[in-house]
Amino acid sequence: MPARHVVSWSTLIGGYVQCGMSKQALGVFREMQVANMEPNDVTLVSVLAASPLLGALEQGKWVHGYLNSNGVELVFFWVLRLIDMYTKCGEVELALEVFNGMSTRNLLVWTSMIKGLAMHGWGKEAFSLIYDLERAGIVPDDITFIGVLCACTHAEQAAKNLIQLEPDNRGKSREVKFCRIQKNIRLVWLKVAKAIERLLFEC
């Protein structure tokens, strides 16, 4: 191609990401930067998705900085992806900065942050968020409660906390009951990870 449009760059980068070729995706993105081509939303989303798979924190931080420097409002769409990227890269503090910078949060944002804290063993902070969530008047769903369960070191403590938190009309799905019965933290983690990933792509 003698001249590449931003759509061409973004399509190539997105295609690599969809095929699980994160290294190639970020390689093309670097070429795009060298060519002084301004990225679009598709480019940025693809880079945020590829960065944690390679531990390429700097690329993800570049996207965050680009959004800020260009005055892009960090609405739910971007916050979800930034929290996901930072937590997968092990930067929980940076994820919390993004989370705490929001004036209003929906259930997906709360759940994504709880899941990120749980993934890195920040159990106390995860439980603190679930209490804050309920005080904010937001009704947790099954996915949120699974994230709380993941934050527990021992399954017995998870059951205790869930009993205290959960009204009779919540968290009654077959998957949640099965996870409690089995007390299998790995199974629970796989469940919440897949659920959050699905929600991110649906957003």
What pLDDT does residue 144 have? 77
Instruction: List the domains of the chain with CATH numbers.
Output: 1-72 (no CATH), 74-203 (1.25.40.10)
What pLDDT does residue 140 have? 78
Q: Are 35 and 1 contacting, i.e. CB atoms less than 8 angstroms apart?
A: no
Q: Are 29 and 43 contacting, i.e. CB atoms less than 8 angstroms apart?
A: yes
Taking residues 103-129, what's their average pLDDT?
Answer: 86
Residue holding tokens 């649906």? 202
Residue whose C-alpha is closest to residue 96's, from 51, 126, 66: 126
Taking residues 103-125, what's their average pLDDT?
Answer: 86
Residue 167 has pLDDT above 70, yes or no: no
Residue whose C-alpha is closest to residue 45's, from 27, 35, 31, 59: 59
Residue 176 has pLDDT above 90, yes or no: no
Residue 45 has pLDDT above 50, yes or no: yes
The model's pLDDT over 69-93, given as tens digits with 9 standing for 90+, comes to 998 888 889 999 999 999 999 999 9
pTM confidence score: 0.71
What pLDDT does residue 155 have? 39
Q: For residue 8, count other CB atoms closer than 10 A to its CB.
A: 13
